[in-house]
Amino acid sequence: MSARICLAVATLGLLSRSTFAAPSSSTGHDILPPPPNPEPIKIIELPLPPVAPTREEGACTLDINPRRTGCIAVDPSLQGGTFLPDGNHVIATVNFTGAPAPPDPASVYMGMQMIAVRTNGTTFPNGDTWKCITCGVPDENKEGSEELTEYPQAFKDGRRAMAASNIVDCGDAELTSPECTPDKVHIHPIWWESGSIRELRIHPDNVHLGFSSFTQQNGALGQYAYFGRIVFNPAPKVGEHLSPRYEVVNVTRLFNPDAPQPVEVEGKRLVLNPNAIAVGELHLTTGKVRRLTQHPEYVDPLDISPDDQWAVILDTRGTDRQMWLSGMRGIPPVTDLITTSLTSATRNNGQRRFFVPWLIDYHGDRGSYFGQQINAAGDGTPGSINDPNWNARADPRWSPDGTQITYYQYLVVPPACGGQNPLPCPTSTAPGGRINRLMLATLTSRTPLAPQPIANVPEFIPWGVPVKPGDPLPIRPAPAPGVYTLKGKRSGSARVEIIGDGTTIDTVAVRYDRFSDDGINILRGWENVTVTRLSLSTSRAEWYSDLWSTGETRSSKRTGRGGFHLEIDSLVNIFKANGTMVTTIDGVVYKPPANGT
């Protein structure tokens, strides 16, 4: 897990321009500029609709909302989204509750809806700081659509926005304008002939999109990333719902089984390809890969600034959540062949995320620079901006002028706190006891950027594989069982034994002999891991390590007598383990969390 080259869960980041993802010079001798100084950041919580104390009908009383524009639940399933193109609003989806029964006009403020929230302290004409865009949309305007949940994203026309696999469309009216009334709004499904689509991302050109589609292969959950074009079809002829919809056409799968894979075999040698494409940060057109982060903790959601000079990432860095597992550097990602779904699942404890927002410049982690924690200011008290019980969720987002970042957080709730859990459950200090909050960070010393150019993107991504309906899914190639040698780039080698039935690998056993990729850190010892799949999403690892290294640091990673046994359902992510695994870096000792914490 030390060199995180093949996390299938990585976010599909679509870059507006190309420079951020350009490869650094191939000489490897770049003189990188010194890291930036920390900059001033001001953070506020954005207003959300008022909270109804219960989910009972009518719980959203006139006292709570005198304007009768709805209430959200204490647990509103908030998903923060992008800014609208005017930079004065952030869109989000939230669960409304407690509305009166029809025919009361306020009865429409129920369920998952898309809202726009003012970010500049002003209000809509009715006095609210937010506007519900989709409350009251007639049924005939949303046939075939699904619940408005994940990843709300605005189009640049200000008149459309995407959430889950729907496009919310207000015709000629901007979503935030008084002209955009519920009868004008349509919620159109996005339809792909080849399967269900998730984790959609609009390309900055607003006609293409990236998305994931989940798979079940070899008894395990997997996913592939895709790129395609969206085309409106007012009168579909095939499929389940024949209502007007957006269709995904001209699709490229962003995985080519014939291209170099992260781990490959050449005769008796094992070869690692850091440039193999496992969709994460990449140059969409050329497929060139540049590694942006180096910290051993887990990074996942991210957004690149409009000028491609900065990234905001959500990372467990700084929390020590996974240092016991990944803190030792210079270990090649060989056991990762079988452990990534388990190791990446240690990042959360159920609904408790350990994600913190960080700001990192174009050149990424280097030396002692690991970016600037965006919400570092604050006194750590309950409800403060750096209260560790408030955890960020996917995705953070830049404003169009590059001076603001929005992110959102959930407060830890049972069973990740309270009861058997040593972490006492905090009492929410947010309005109405709300357990979700939407945040706005302003980078106060920055000058607003002019609108940025948008790179052209080819219709079909040249390094991917064009797909047609009915095409079979590829299998991710894996090294065949056998004993291989992995040579250190600078010195030493490793003996790698791969055991499996030819379809799935069960065991990877590695012995390092003065192994070094960088000529500085020298790795010795052995590590072997056996992974057993218990269900589509649950697996269990029997892990034995006795690794130590010298060089920049004196480090070790050792399991106790009897090894370390980890079992996680990657859809639930409750930490459950037996035995011990301890990583020590220059005398600092890191141990795994207790079960269920």
Ligand X SMILES: *[C@@H]1O[C@H](CO)[C@@H](O)[C@H](O)[C@H]1NC(C)=O
Taking the complex as a whole, the smallest distance from the CB of residue 156 to ligand X amounts, in Å, to: 15
Q: Applying CB under 6 A, what is the total number of residues that bind ligand X?
A: 27
Break the chain down into helix, strand, coil percent, rounded to 5.
Answer: 5, 40, 55
CA distance 21 to 292: 9
Q: DSSP 3-state assignment of 573?
A: coil
Q: Shortest CA distance to 529 belongs to which of 504, 548, 547, 506?
A: 506
Which regions of 278-350 does DSSP assign to beta strands (E)?
299-304, 310-315
Separation of alpha carbons 412 and 393, rounded Å: 12
- Using the rule CB under 6 A, is 456 a contact of ligand X? no
Applying CB under 6 A, does 95 fall inside the site for ligand X? yes
86 binds ligand X (CB under 6 A): yes
SS3 state at 323: helix
Q: Which of 227, 362, 544, 590 binds ligand X (CB under 6 A)?
A: 544
Give min distance, CB of 360 to ligand X, in A: 29
**Token digits of residue 140:** 């005939």
Q: Between 62 and 249, name the residue whose CB sits nearer to ligand X.
A: 249
Stretch that binds ligand X, among 25-33, 338-346, 395-403, 570-578 (CB under 6 A): 570-578
Query: Under the criterion CB under 6 A, does residue 578 sit at the interface with ligand X?
Result: yes
Nearer to ligand X, 277 or 577 (CB): 577
Site for ligand X in 506-525 (CB under 6 A): 507, 509
Q: Which letter does DSSP use for residue 39 in this model?
A: -
Q: 459, 462, 466, 534: which one contacts ligand X (CB under 6 A)?
A: 459
Between 369 and 548, CB nearer to ligand X: 548
Measured between alpha carbons, how far is 503 from 218 in angstroms, rounded to an integer?
Answer: 7
Burial class (CB in 10 A: 0-12, 13-18, 19+), 447: exposed
Point out which span in 44-52, 343-351, 381-389, 574-582 binds ligand X (CB under 6 A).
574-582
Min dist. Cβ of residue 458 to ligand X (A):
8
- Work out which of 77, 206, 286, 580 binds ligand X, going by CB under 6 A: 77
242 vs 249, which CB is nearer to ligand X? 249
Cis, bond preceding 103 (omega within 30 deg of 0): yes
Long-range Cβ contact pairs of 424-433 (< 8 A, separation 24 or more): 426/382, 426/387, 426/389, 427/382, 428/74, 428/383, 429/382, 429/383, 430/45, 430/383, 431/48, 431/50, 431/51, 432/50, 432/51, 432/52, 432/53, 432/74, 433/51, 433/53, 433/74
Closest CA to 333 of 486, 207, 141: 486
Given 143, 146, 264, 567, the residue binding ligand X (CB under 6 A): 567
Interface mask toward ligand X for 249-278; x: CB under 6 A: xx----------------------------
Residue with smaller CB distance to ligand X, 162 or 360 = 162
User: Which residue's CB is nearer to ligand X, number 313 or number 509?
Assistant: 509
Q: Is 55 a residue that touches ligand X (CB under 6 A)?
A: yes
**Nearest-approach distance from CB 558 to ligand X, in angstroms:** 12
By beta-carbon proximity to ligand X, the closer residue of 130 and 544 is: 544
Measuring CA to CA, which residue among 253, 373, 260 is closest to residue 313?
Answer: 373
| Residue 121 CB, nearest approach to ligand X (Å) | 7
Paired strand residues for 263: 272
Residue 233 within binding range of ligand X, rule CB under 6 A: no
Shortest distance, position 526 Cβ to ligand X, whole Å: 7
Interatomic CA distance for residues 136 and 109, integer angstroms: 7
DSSP string, 162-199: EETTEEEE-TTS-TTSTT--GGG-EEEEEE-TTS--EE
Residues written for the chain? 597
Other C-beta atoms within 10 Å of 171: how many?
A: 11
> Could you tell me the smallest distance in angstroms from the CB atom of residue 507 to ligand X?
5
Judged by CB under 6 A, which stretch of 154-162, 193-201, 307-315, 572-580 contacts ligand X?
572-580
Which of 16, 97, 391, 421 binds ligand X (CB under 6 A)? It is 97
Q: Which is nearer to ligand X, 5 or 116 (CB)?
A: 116
Closer residue to ligand X in complex, CB, 249/571? 249
Q: Secondary structure of 367-434 in the HEC alphabet?
A: CCECCEECCCCCCCCCCCCCCCCEEEEEEEEECCCCCEEEEEEEECCCCCCCCCCCCCCCCCCCHHHC
What track of x and - describes contact with ligand X for positions 141 through 170 (by CB under 6 A)? Answer: --------x---------------------
| Candidate list 44, 231, 450, 589; residue touching ligand X; CB under 6 A | 231
Strands 208-217 and 220-233, by their bridges, are: antiparallel
By beta-carbon proximity to ligand X, the closer residue of 2 and 538 is: 538
In the bound complex, what is the minimum distance in angstroms from residue 566's beta carbon to ligand X? 6
Choice from 5, 15, 60, 112 touching ligand X (CB under 6 A) = 112
Binding test (CB under 6 A) with ligand X, winner from 131, 229, 352, 397? 229
Strands 220-233 and 245-253: antiparallel
The one-letter amino acid at 497: E
Please identify which residue in 122, 381, 420, 427 interacts with ligand X, judged by CB under 6 A: 122
All residues at 6 or more sequence positions from 328 whose CB lies less than 8 Å from its CB, including other chains: 2, 296, 547, 549, 555, 556, 557, 583, 585
| b/e map 516-539, b = 16+ CB within 10 Å | bbeeebbbbbebbbbbebeeebbb
| Identity of the residue, 229 or 352, whose beta carbon is nearer to ligand X in the bound complex | 229
Is 88 near ligand X (CB under 6 A)? yes
Interface region with ligand X, contact rule CB under 6 A, candidates 41-49, 163-171, 274-282, 575-583: 575-583
Quote the least distance from Cβ 111 to ligand X, whole Å: 6
Kindly list the residues in this chain that would bind ligand X in the complex (CB under 6 A).
Answer: 55, 73, 77, 86, 88, 95, 97, 111-112, 120, 122, 149, 229, 231, 249-250, 459, 497, 507, 509, 528, 544, 565, 567, 576-578
